């Protein structure tokens, strides 16, 4: 079952955060489980962003989280944020092409 994780965070350092993401993408090429991601910016709340990340399954998402590169990324991400991130862990139960 497809699994989606939504990560909501606040930061005034989005360019540094994007550089961090680019580095993580490079170092995890060929071993990460994430299949798709979208970075969004909240139009109503300043400096608030959401990452929507898709995985083939919950189990593969957890294996992805266990990568040393992901642990290092999470630590650095937290340092760039204005407070703790909020995580939503979602099992996809229906998809409808539109």
CATH (domain of 82) = 3.30.70.100
Structural domain for 12, as ranges:
3-90
Averaged pLDDT for residues 18-42: 96
In a domain, 96, yes or no: no
Q: How far is CA 5 from the centre of its chain?
A: 7
In a domain, 15, yes or no: yes
Q: 70 falls in which pLDDT band (50, 70, 90)?
A: very high
Please state whether beta strands 3-10 and 36-41 pair in parallel, antiparallel, or not at all (unpaired): unpaired
With pLDDT > 70 as the criterion, what percentage of the chain qualifies?
100
In a domain, 95, yes or no: no
Please count the structural domains in the chain: 1
In a domain, 67, yes or no: yes
CA-only gyration radius of the chain, Å: 14
In a domain, 27, yes or no: yes
pLDDT at residue 32, as a whole number:
94
pLDDT at residue 59, as a whole number:
97
Task: State pLDDT tens for residues 1-10.
Answer: 999 999 999 9
Q: Share the mean pLDDT of the chain.
A: 96
In a domain, 97, yes or no: no
């Amino acid at each position: 079952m497809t699994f989606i994780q939504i990560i909501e965070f606040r930061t005034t350092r989005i360019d540094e955060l994007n550089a961090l993401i680019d580095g993580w993408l490079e170092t995890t090429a060929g071993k990460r489980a994430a299949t798709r991601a979208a970075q969004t910016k909240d139009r109503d709340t300043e400096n608030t962003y959401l990452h929507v990340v898709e995985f083939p399954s919950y189990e593969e998402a957890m294996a992805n989280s266990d990568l040393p590169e992901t642990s290092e990324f999470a630590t650095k991400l937290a340092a760039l944020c204005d407070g703790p991130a909020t995580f939503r862990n979602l099992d996809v139960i229906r998809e409808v092409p539109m």
